[in-house]
């Protein structure tokens, strides 16, 4: 220390700067100390140790006396007639670096003080932090308390009954309103109702699944009828492939339905492609289309064209040429009518408050 200080000292251009700096630092220390009055679980005074009838810890006197006494008697009644042991802690600031969250601080304080009966676990800690930027109201409940004062209800009490007061700096009134509502909840006379979990809307998914299946079945049925109405096995083979494009698009858009339908067809042994038997060697299903078809007659608007397909037997090399009509397609119109099917993944937001802490449940609200 002294060695480092010596180096620092000698590098300073004059001794006066050091002296002035030290004086400034000394003047600032008490100011910094007051500003940084951050409580830790260990430094919060436990009033109960001094006074068995006191439920409120308010070391910085943030509540006025009337409110303090009214609140304290409400907390007394909460314990005597409703069997919930509550501690109210009002602090300007907590050592956030050490705890990460006000909930964690409350949880640690709850366990350090051991609120509630160790079998009934009927403890409740209400922590209020008041400094700008840290303002938060926290409930930490024991397991027993949580049975009657659920996390959802805790959150509702905070937002509906307390925050409107707390926002205006009316800490006493906010705490009194909150404790009164807690009493009502435990008595079963509170009008607050835990929000029912949002019902999921399955209709878009159902419509998507049904519509997709209908489209896939329709494409396949249309292909089947085309194949069935073909005058020759050669035309049938070409017609079988004619709806490939539409089939692929449908398969991509409705993949789950496509897979189901595909499995169904496999089970039903409905193997698709019509096999062509060879006219020459009489082998079954050896004749297949080869190469690209040659346009023999150009299609024009209103009149189909003709394409010549070449079929070859893989066994004996027998070749057959078949003329098959094709429909006119308007050039230059790259019709990309992508009927966007958006599937909503509606995730109903589950409450993230509550639970998680070893002391049981609770809730917190910043304001």
User: Which residues contribute to the site for Zn ion (CB under 5 A)?
Assistant: 278, 280-281, 313, 315-316, 318
Nearest-5° Cα angle at 123, 122 to 128: 150
Cα torsion for 130, 138, 148, 83, to the nearest 10°? -60
Rounded Cα distance between 182 and 180, Å, is 5
Question: By C-alpha distance, which of 153, 193, 162, 163 is closest to 180?
Answer: 162
Residue 263 or 281: the one with the smaller Cβ distance to Zn ion is 281
**Nearer of residues 213 and 316 to Zn ion, judged by Cβ:** 316
CB 229, min distance to Zn ion, A: 26
Give the nearer residue to Zn ion in terms of CB position, either 145 or 286.
Answer: 286
253 or 278: whose CB is closer to Zn ion? 278
What is the phi/psi pair of residue 323, to 5°?
Answer: -90, 130
**CB 303 → Zn ion: shortest distance, Å?**
35
Please return the burial class of 151, using the count of CB atoms within 10 Å of its CB with bins 0-12, 13-18 and 19+.
buried
Q: Round to whole Å and give the CA distance between 8 and 1.
A: 10
Residue 139, token pair as written in the block: 């409930």
Edge-to-edge order in the sheet of strand 305-313: 287-297, 305-313, 319-326
Contact partners, residue 366, CB within 8 Å, separation at least 6 = 135, 136
Least separation in angstroms between residue 277's CB and Zn ion is: 9
Q: Please, which residue, 226 or 315, has the CB nearer to Zn ion?
A: 315
What's the number of CA atoms in the CB half-sphere (13 Å) around residue 279? 9
Smallest distance, Zn ion to C-beta of residue 304, A:
30
As beta bridge partners, residue 123 has 85
Q: How far is the CB of 309 from Zn ion (least distance, A)?
A: 17
Q: Residue for token digits 């679980």? A: 41
Q: Which is nearer to Zn ion, 78 or 278 (CB)?
A: 278
In the complex, least distance from residue 287 CB atom to Zn ion, rounded to whole angstroms? 7
**What is the CB neighbour count within 10 angstroms for residue 354?**
21
CA distance 355 to 360: 6
Shortest distance, position 275 Cβ to Zn ion, whole Å: 13
Our CB check for Zn ion shows the closer of 106 and 313 to be 313
The edge-to-edge listing of strands for the beta sheet with 123-129 is 56-57, 85-91, 123-129, 136-141, 362-366
Three-state secondary structure call for residue 303? strand
| Minimum distance, C-beta of residue 292 to Zn ion, in the bound complex (Å) | 22
Name beta bridge partners: 127.
Answer: 89, 138
Q: Specify the residue, 164 or 285, whose C-beta has the smaller distance to Zn ion.
A: 285
Distance of closest approach, residue 283 Cβ to Zn ion, in angstroms: 5
Nearer to Zn ion by Cβ, of 226 and 280: the residue is 280
């Amino acid at each position: 220390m002294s060695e480092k200080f010596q180096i620092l000292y000698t590098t300073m251009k004059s001794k006066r700067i050091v002296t002035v700096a030290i004086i400034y630092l000394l003047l600032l220390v008490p100011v910094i100390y007051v500003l940084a009055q951050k409580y830790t679980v260990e430094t919060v005074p436990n009033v109960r140790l001094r006074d068995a009838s006191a439920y409120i810890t308010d070391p910085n006197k943030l509540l006025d006396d009337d409110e303090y006494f009214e609140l304290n008697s409400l907390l007394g009644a909460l314990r005597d007639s409703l069997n919930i042991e509550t501690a109210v802690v009002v602090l300007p600031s907590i050592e956030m670096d050490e705890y990460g969250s006000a909930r964690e601080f409350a949880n640690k304080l709850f366990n350090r003080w051991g609120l509630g009966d160790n079998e009934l676990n009927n403890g409740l800690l209400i922590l209020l932090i008041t400094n700008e930027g840290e303002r938060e109201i926290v409930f930490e409940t024991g397991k027993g308390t949580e049975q009657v004062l659920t996390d959802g209800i805790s959150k509702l009490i905070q937002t509906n009954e307390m925050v409107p007061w707390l926002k205006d700096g009316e800490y006493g009134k906010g705490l009194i309103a909150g404790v009164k509502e807690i009493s009502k909840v435990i008595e079963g006379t509170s009008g607050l109702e835990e929000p029912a979990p949002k019902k999921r809307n399955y209709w878009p998914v159902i419509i998507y699944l049904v519509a997709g299946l209908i489209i896939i079945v329709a494409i396949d049925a249309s292909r089947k009828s085309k194949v069935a109405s073909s005058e020759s096995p050669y035309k049938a083979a070409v017609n079988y492939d004619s709806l490939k494009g539409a089939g692929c698009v449908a398969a991509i858009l409705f993949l789950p339905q496509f897979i189901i339908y595909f499995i169904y067809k496999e089970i039903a042994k409905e193997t698709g492609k019509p096999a062509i038997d060879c006219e020459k060697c009489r082998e079954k299903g050896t004749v297949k289309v080869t190469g690209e078809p040659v346009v023999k007659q150009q299609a024009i608007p209103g009149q189909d064209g003709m394409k010549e397909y070449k079929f070859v037997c893989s066994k004996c090399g027998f070749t057959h040429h078949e003329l098959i009509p094709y429909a006119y397609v308007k050039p230059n119109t790259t019709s990309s009518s992508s009927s966007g099917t958006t599937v909503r993944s509606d995730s109903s937001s589950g409450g993230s408050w509550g639970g998680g802490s070893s002391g049981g449940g609770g809730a917190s609200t910043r304001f």
